[in-house]
Amino acid sequence: MEHKSSYEEIIVEKSDKTYELKDSLKTYGIHYNFDEKVYSNSSAISESILEELKWFLKNHNMKYTTKKVIEKRLNYKIITIDKNNFLIEQVSNNLKCYYINIYIGMDENKVNILDTRKSLHLSASLPKFESNDYLFEVLEYFSINTEKLFEAKFDESELFTILPNIIDSHTLQISLEQKLQKFKFMTIKDLSLKNKGDFLCNCVPGFFPETEFKLVGNKILSSYTQNFLSSNQEKKIWKYLYKIENRKHIGNKKEPTLFELFKNAKIPVKDSSGNEYFGRISSIKEVRGKLEIKITNGINETLAPKLFDKEELFDFIKNYR
């Protein structure tokens, strides 16, 4: 059974600027269509994102046209085996079309997907998830990193066309994404009006705490790499700043806490036989003006044999990042 729906397609006129700003266009859902040889969206764009997109196009003198697109959606449903395993079933014939397995690791996650209809297999490593909605995290990752599907020769699968329409939390997450885009737009505009300079924030979880982030137009520059952040990394920054308790850090430098500086940092340890391995700092506390740390190997926790100065410990862990 098929369902029909429509959306407004934004077709950006191809020029030198479209290629130069293609990464920025991707953040609004505008990608290069190799068949039509144009930059456009392949699915609906929310009103808030559309408003920001039109402002962006106008600001960069980029011409565009619009047209109404009718799309057909097949009727599928998600069968949850457990929080790590899912089946996608076609309702009309009960065919189990896709099997998705998600493994949550210590430093990274892994996903294995089997397309039973086209005999395709995708295996990939993903960064740590930001929520417990594993299926949405997988969808979000491959929606942003579409090149990974081509690299794995999984681009012929229809899974990532079907999944956004049936995922349980999709409506709620899309609502959040809309709010996030509007928040980003208003924050950039507000900082510009207040003449606060280009500093955005620092001490963001998931990045090294000393890293400062600066705004260059609507892109974010990292002081650590001196490069612009990827779309996925930018999203982490905006999600962090969107939280009410973190908004006070927008445009204001934050002094990193001991927890932010050292928690989970890698550090070399020798066992009783003299063999060296890497553990992670599990706790830190001040003792007589110095730092006492405990180190874990994932199973056992041991106390470091010496106390550290703050600067000494920071310089030490930087060597093992």
- Looking at the chain, the domain(s) classified CATH 2.30.30 span 258-318
For the stretch 124-133, what's the b/e string if a residue is b when 16 or more beta carbons lie within 10 angstroms of its beta carbon?
A: bebeebeeeb
Q: Is pLDDT above 90 for 142?
A: no
Report which of 266, 279, 278 is spatially closest to residue 318, judged by C-alpha positions: 266
Q: 16 - beta bridge partners?
A: none
pLDDT for the residue numbered 5: 64
Residue 238 or residue 47, greater confidence: 238
- pLDDT of 102 reads 95
pLDDT tens sequence across 95-109: 899 999 999 998 889
CATH architecture, range 258-318: Roll (2.30)
Tell me the pTM: 0.44
pLDDT digits (tens, 9 = 90+) for 262-319: 888 888 887 777 777 888 888 888 888 899 988 887 777 888 888 888 888 888 888 8
Q: What is the CATH number of domain 2-72?
A: 3.30.70
Looking at the chain, which residues constitute the CATH 3.30.70 domain(s)?
2-72
Length of the chain: 321
Confidence of residue 73 (pLDDT cuts 50, 70, 90): low
pLDDT band at 111 (very low <50, low <70, confident <90, very high): very high
Distance CA 13, CA 5 (A): 25
CA atoms of 231 and 220, how far apart (whole Å): 10
